[in-house]
Structures are given as C-alpha cells and as structure tokens.
C-alpha cells in the first residue's frame, strides 16, 4: 500500500471515529446512539484492517474481523435488545445540556491532543500521529458516561471509552498480543450482557422497576 493511500485511509477512519464520538455527545436518543455506536465499531474494524494490510500481518486482519464482529454487530445488537426489553428507547435529557456537552467535548479533544504530544514524539510513523484521536475518544467516552442518566446510555459511554483504548492500542503498536485483545473484547461484551441480565432480573422479579430509578444505596 502506498504511503499516501495509507495516510488517507488512516485519516478517514480516525476522522470517522472522532466524528461518531462527538455525535454520541450530541444526540441523546438511545436508538440513535446505538446506531452511531455500530458505525464507530465499523470504523474501528476498518482502521485495524488498514493497519493489518499496511503491515502485511494476517493475525491483525483476523483481529480486525473479530473487532468488527464484536463492536459493530454483537454489542450494538445486545444493547438494542436490552433497550427494547426495558422499553427505554425514549429520550432522556442528559444531566448537562447538549450545547455545553459539545463544547466540553471540544475542550477534551484539545486536551487529548496536548496529552498525546509526548506519545507522538516518542513513536514515529503516520499511525502514531493519530494517537490523540484514541485519547480523545477515551475522554469523550468518559464525558458521555458521566453526563447520562440511564444505565444503558452510561454503558454506551463505556463502550466508546473502550473503543478509544482499542484505537490507542492499535495505533501505537499494531495491537497488543492476540490473547489479550480477545480478552478485552469479550470483556466489553460481557459487561453489556451483565446489564441485560440485571435489568431482566429486575423486570421479572420486581415488576418494571428501572435500574435508573434505584437510588436507595447511600450513606
């Protein structure tokens, strides 16, 4: 693959990752967020595939397929199933209004760029210069996690966070060893499934109480 094409594809996929993260902050309807999450997963899979083709490493391509299957298909599917099961598809206004959250996302992107400077300085290559995108995704995922009311939306923030970490991992070193990557991806899927199980138990045992309405535990 030529250098220019590699840079172009890298730019497109990382740009798409960043845009989808910002749209997550912008749109707070659950069904829209899950769709955007699927697009983000697809962009991540594409990024890994591009890196694999550039390196000529078959293992990375296998990881790309795994990432695609998990993050673009399995996790959004599990999330939408949970959403329909709890009837939680209506919009819930977030704790911070979207305008302020969007401006905060902007500030976080700048912060990620600044924080990523030492990393970019150490590693060389076009892939490393896009590492701040991964860090920005982590910070924006945190923002979504902290400013949403419903458990499902917080979980979406967590998945964005994880996507950011995965992006950083792949851009800095071509990925961590395969076993670890497998473990990490499965872990995210399991967290989503845990929410599914917990909410379904809550529904069946206690008649339709929403996880978000529970605030009994405090000191």
Partner 1 sequence: MNTLTVPGLLAVQVVGALALTPILIGVMRQTRARLEGRAGGGVTQPWRDVRKLLAKEPLQAAGTGPMLSATPLLLITSSLVVCALVPLVGTASLATVPDDLFVVVSVLLLGTVALALLGLESGTAFGGMGSSRHMTIAALVEPTVLVAVYALSIPVGTSALSAIVAARVQDPASVVSPVGLLAVVALGIAVLAETGRLPVDNPSTHLELTMVHEAMVLESSGRDLAWLEVGSWLRLTALLGLLVNLAIPWGVATTLSLSAVLLGVAAIVVKLLVAGMLVAAGEVFLAKLRLFRVPELLAGSFVLAFLAVTASFLIGGAP
Partner 2 sequence: MTALIWIPLLLPVIVGGASWWRRADGWTRGADLAVAVVALGVGIALLTAVHATGPITAATGALRADALSAWLLLTIGTVAVTALWGGLPTRAARTAPDGRYTALICLFLAAMSLAVLSDNLGILWVAIEATTIATAFLVGHHQSPRSLEAAWKYVVLGSVGVAIAFLGIVLLYASTVAAGTPTLSWVQLAEGGLSLDPDLTRIAVALAVLGFATKAGLAPMHSWLPDAHSQAPAPVSGLMSGVLLSVALYAILRIQAIGDATLGPQFLRGLLLAGGLLSLAVAAAMILAQRDYKRMLAYSSIEHMGIMALGVAIGGPLATAAVLLHMLGHGLVKAAMFVVAGRILAAGGTTRTADVTGLLTRRPDLARALLAGTAALLGFPPFVLFFTEVAIVVAGWQAGLGWAMGIALFLLLVVFAGLARHVSAMTLGPPVTVDPPVAAAPGQDHGAHPLPVDSHTAPLPTPWREPATEPAAKHRQAPVLIALAAAAILGLMASPLAAQLREAAAVLAGAR
Contact of 41 with 76, CB cutoff 8 Å: yes
Is the CA virtual torsion 175, 11, 137, 198 positive or negative?
A: negative
**Contact with partner 2 (CB under 8 A) among 2, 58, 99, 121:** 121
Residue 29 near partner 1 by CB under 8 A: no
Given 45, 52, 76, 132, the residue binding partner 1 (CB under 8 A):
132
User: Could you tell me the smallest distance in angstroms from the CB atom of residue 115 to partner 1?
Assistant: 12
Q: Is residue 66 at the binding interface for partner 2, with CB under 8 A as the rule?
A: no
Chosen residue from 133, 155, 160, 161 binding partner 1 by CB under 8 A: 133
Q: What is the Cα–Cα distance from 185 to 178, expressed in whole angstroms?
A: 11
Spatial CB neighbours of 68, under 8 Å, sequence gap ≥ 6: 41, 42, 44, 45
Which of residues 8 and 125 has its CB atom nearest to partner 2 in the complex? 125
Q: How far apart are CA 21 and CA 139, in angstroms?
A: 10
Q: What would you report as the CA-atom Rg of the chain, rounded to the nearest whole angstrom?
A: 18
Instruction: Pick the stretch among 10-18, 60-68, 84-92, 201-209 that binds partner 2 (CB under 8 A).
Output: 201-209
> 19 or 66, CB closer to partner 1?
19
Residue 132 beta carbon to partner 1: minimum distance, rounded to whole angstroms: 5
Q: Are 148 and 95 in contact (CB under 8 A)?
A: yes
Contact 47, 10 (CB under 8 A): yes
Instruction: Please give the residue ranges that form the binding site for partner 1 (CB under 8 A).
Output: 7-8, 10-12, 14-16, 18-19, 22-23, 26, 97-99, 102-103, 105-106, 109-110, 113, 129-130, 132-133
């Amino acid at each position: 693959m030529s250098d220019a094409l590699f840079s172009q594809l890298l730019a497109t996929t990382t740009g798409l990752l960043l845009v989808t993260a910002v749209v997550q902050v912008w749109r707070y309807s659950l069904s829209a967020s899950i769709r955007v999450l699927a697009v983000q997963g697809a962009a991540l899979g594409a990024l890994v595939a591009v890196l694999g083709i550039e390196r000529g490493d078959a293992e990375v391509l296998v990881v790309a397929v795994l990432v695609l299957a998990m993050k673009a298909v399995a996790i959004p599917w599990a999330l939408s199933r949970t959403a329909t099961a709890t009837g939680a598809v209506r919009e819930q206004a977030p704790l911070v209004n979207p305008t302020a959250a969007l401006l905060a996302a902007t500030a976080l992107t700048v912060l990620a760029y600044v924080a990523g400077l030492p990393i970019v300085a150490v590693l060389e290559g076009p892939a490393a210069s896009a590492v701040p995108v991964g860090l920005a995704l982590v910070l924006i995922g945190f923002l979504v996690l902290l400013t949403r009311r419903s458990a499902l939306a917080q979980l979406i923030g967590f998945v964005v966070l994880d996507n950011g970490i995965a992006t950083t991992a792949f851009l800095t070193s071509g990925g961590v060893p395969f076993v670890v990557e497998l473990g990490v991806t499965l872990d995210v899927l399991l967290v989503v499934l845990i929410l599914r199980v917990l909410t379904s138990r809550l529904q069946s045992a206690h008649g339709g109480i929403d996880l978000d309405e529970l605030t009994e535990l405090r000191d």
